[in-house]
Amino acid sequence: MEERKSLKHLANSVQYSVDMMVEFVAEFRNQYDNDVSTWSPQGRIHQVEYAVEAVKQGSAAIGLRNKDYAVLLALKRSSGELASYQKKLIKIDEHMGIGIAGLTSDARVLSNFMRTEAMKSKMLYDRPLPVQRIVTAIADKAQVNTQQYGRRPYGVGLLVIGYDETGPHLYECSPSGTSFEYHAMSIGARSQSAKTYLESHYQDFVEAPLDDLVRHGLQALRDTLQQDKELNIHNTSLGIVGKDKDFQIIEGEALQQYLDLLGTETGRTRRGGAVTASQSVAADETVPAPDVAPMDTDA
């Protein structure tokens, strides 16, 4: 008799636990986010919004341009002390490159597509691919994934810089399939701090020489860091393209001369100034920030 009561009590406890779990799952489950082709009553596509959130989990990438040059800067992350830093800037062609925030696997697919299109332009028309044309192609490719059942949006945001016959360009491409041209833009974690700096100093770098343009970009990128972190030659990438200058990615020791430009403070003052090469290892950001999604320890 006692054994039967114990078994009944155990069964009731298990059933209660199952019911609680079902209620918990139902509370956080959204019936409108099962696939990308379903609209919510509020006119939203939740799968697209989730992809945009993946971009916000990636480390910051910043782009800005003046009348002659376009510049990309990015903050690299490492998944651990024994891991290398993930690549944040990708060269597409001699006149074009991209900065990424989000899933690098998706960025690899899109960058390969962009390189193929650039090679086609050279082979068929014997000219570099116009920047706006490749941006439109990327936006169209991303938009298809927001419309067809069984697909998912790309979980990566792109900043595209390039120089063509119309001058320097900076575009942002989002997982929603939209693209816009900017004078300055930032994406990724804590990018709003960089946007605030760029908006308040926009007039300063429109006519600025290249070194000042890079300095403003580094200052904006530094504003995305936590207070106990600093930019150094290991966690920072710089990309430059412009008039009579092919796209070039600058990292490592070659980057130190640009980090030294931060000795002249602009905007928010951070104690200690620029970090030298000998100090950079100690200040390295080797562990992803707490807001990094498990699928995104890279960008």
Kindly state the percentage of the chain with pLDDT values over 70. 78
What pLDDT is attached to residue 35? 79
Q: Which helix (H) or strand (E) holds 104?
A: helix 104-125
Alpha carbon of 24 to those of 19, 20, 21: distances in Å? 9, 6, 5
In a domain, 119, yes or no: yes
Is 225 within 8 Å of 231 (Cβ atoms)?
Answer: yes
Alpha carbon of 136 to those of 59, 128, 132, 141: distances in Å? 25, 15, 6, 9
- Which of 2-16, 69-83, 242-256 bottoms out in mean pLDDT, i.e. has the lowest? 2-16
Mean pLDDT in residue range 199-211: 90
In a domain, 17, yes or no: no
Q: How far is C-alpha 225 from the chain's CA centre? A: 14
Q: Which helix (H) or strand (E) holds 11?
A: helix 2-28
- Which of 68-82, 151-165, 231-245 bottoms out in mean pLDDT, i.e. has the lowest? 68-82
What pLDDT is attached to residue 34? 77
In a domain, 11, yes or no: no
In a domain, 16, yes or no: no
pLDDT band, residue 172 (cuts 50/70/90)? very high
For the stretch 100-115, pLDDT in tens is: 999 999 999 999 999 9
Number of domains in the chain: 1
Report the C-alpha gap between 38 and 82 in whole angstroms: 43
What pLDDT is attached to residue 30? 67
Is 201 within 8 Å of 60 (Cβ atoms)?
Answer: no
pLDDT at 192 over 60: yes
Q: Which helix (H) or strand (E) holds 160?
A: strand 156-164
Q: For residue 110, what are the domain limits?
A: 48-280
Report the C-alpha gap between 23 and 13 in whole angstroms: 15
Mean pLDDT in residue range 221-249: 93
In a domain, 52, yes or no: yes
In a domain, 287, yes or no: no
Q: How far is C-alpha 218 from the chain's CA centre? A: 16
Of 33 and 4, the one with more pLDDT: 33
Mean residue pLDDT of the chain comes to: 83
pLDDT at 250 over 90: yes
Residue 224: CATH number of its domain: 3.60.20.10
Report the C-alpha gap between 161 and 261 in whole angstroms: 22
pLDDT at 290 over 90: no
Mean pLDDT in residue range 187-197: 95
Is 227 within 8 Å of 268 (Cβ atoms)?
Answer: no
- Which of 23-27, 79-83, 119-123, 251-255 bottoms out in mean pLDDT, i.e. has the lowest? 23-27
